[in-house]
Amino acid sequence: MASMFDLMDEWGPEKIVAVSDAKTGMKGVLVIDNTSRGIGKGGTRMQPGVTVEEIARLARVMTWKWAGVDLFYGGAKAGIQADPRSPYKEEILRSFVRRLSNEVPREYVFGLDMGLTENDAAVIIDELGDRGSAVGTPYELGGVPYDQLGITGYGVAEVVDQAASRQGLQGSRVAVQGFGAVGHAAASRLHELGYQVVAISTAEGAIADPSGLDIPELLRRRSESGDALVADFPELKIDPGDELFVDAEIAVPAALQDVIDASAAERMGARLVVEGANLPTSSEAQQVLLRRGVTVVPDFVANAGGVVSAAFAMDARYSPFRAATESIFSTVSEKLRANTVQVLEAAESRSVTSHEAARSLAQERVRAAMLLRGKPLPH
């Protein structure tokens, strides 16, 4: 395991706060990566295997994501090493939040990631007694429940459509890995846009149909059965992970990170990969896909709909008025489609991966803000 000092470079992290509580068994960490463009904003995840290095990587992604969509917040992320299905989830979450009361909300504002829901955001606000301590709160509390609205997945689908239009792939077959908060919303919007979703997966398995899946029916079953919906279609069952390798022109990894390595990149038949999840492809895989002529839209471009909606939520935290949902969806579509074109054109003109092009754009913006705050000392 890398030491905390090994995680620090010219960009950050600026602060790493590790916390624990003997009574609840809570262990957690907050990583504030770079606040040159604004206070730290990013989701909090609850997973048994969470590590400091993982959270630091995700905090860095948030730095580039905020800069990539040109919104003025800084990269940050938090993680709790616990099972979100625990009967003591609320006690663990409250303990974690109390331990970070010095940082929240002055330096960091909680958001939602894997393992946390809108109701958990409400618990955070209750624990700290401050409406400004979290976003993603339930609609009934004046929040913008962007997971419930499916805004991130909606943005992913808009990016798919924009990138596909450049390659003559509009209305093509799409394989979606993951049918959770991001994946199901992406599949729903893709269906509306006329795409044929031929494969999906959940934590319970994967299914595929070369003639196209019935997305409205899958969405209905998801609302009833959750991840277990795939068990209702034994005749369509495929091996978990194979959803990325079915016959489809477009692949949308929208589940876990680090799922596409160099070997998987060689096997994939898709001509367009749109990263709905954070960090789904390794750097080696990105080079393989570039060599094979596969277009890739990076995570911090493709799934930035969540940060756009979070920005609306940040602005509305202390307001008695709700943020206008229609404005959020239209802004997500406008910003993400424009960013997609800008990044793909830059990648093509420079013959680099789209990740390198997008990161370069974000770094220019972050570096400019850092320099405006004072000339750095030589190291």
With beta carbons less than 8 A apart as the criterion, state whether 331 and 156 touch: no
77 annotated active-site: yes
- Strands of the 15-21 sheet, one edge to the other: 15-21, 26-34, 74-80, 40-46, 108-112
Given a contact cutoff of 8 angstroms between Cβ atoms, the answer to whether 37 and 365 are in contact is: yes
Distance from C-alpha of 156 to C-alpha of 170, rounded to nearest angstrom: 14
Cβ-defined contacts of 254-258 (< 8 Å, 24+): 254/153, 254/156, 254/176, 254/177, 254/178, 254/180, 254/182, 254/183, 254/186, 254/303, 255/177, 255/178, 255/180, 255/183, 255/201, 255/280, 256/178, 256/280, 258/282
| CA–CA separation, 274 and 254 (whole Å) | 9
Q: Would you say 13 and 79 are in contact if contact means Cβ atoms under 8 Å apart?
A: no
Q: What type of residue sits at position 29? A: V
Radius of gyration of the chain (CA): 20
**Which listed residue (23, 27, 65, 77) is catalytic?**
77
- Catalytic residue set: 77
